[in-house]
Amino acid sequence: MTHSAADAKLEDAAYKAKSVMIGEIIQFNNISEAVASAKSAGFEDEENSTHLFSVTNPTKFGSVVKYTVTG
């Protein structure tokens, strides 16, 4: 095998490895974005949903405020 043939084979292998690595990075980023989106959507749903509990009857004891929580 000549130097130019070896160089071409090495260049081809490097290109394939680079393509695989870029594909894996893109796939990882897409999965990460989907997970982040699902987490933030869940958080927003909790924020906007009906109240799961209520806080009433604030009573101050010195510098501490105690509440009655129902829910």
Query: In whole angstroms, how far apart are CA 28 and each of 32, 36, 38, 59, 66?
Result: 6, 12, 15, 50, 46
Q: What is the pTM of this model?
A: 0.47
- The domain total for the chain is 1
Q: State whether residue 47 is helix, strand or coil.
A: helix
The share of the chain scoring above pLDDT 90, in percent, equals 27
pLDDT per residue as tens digits for the range 43-70 = 555 555 565 778 888 888 888 888 888 8
The values of phi and psi at residue 55, to 5°, are -115, 125
Domain that holds residue 28: 3-70
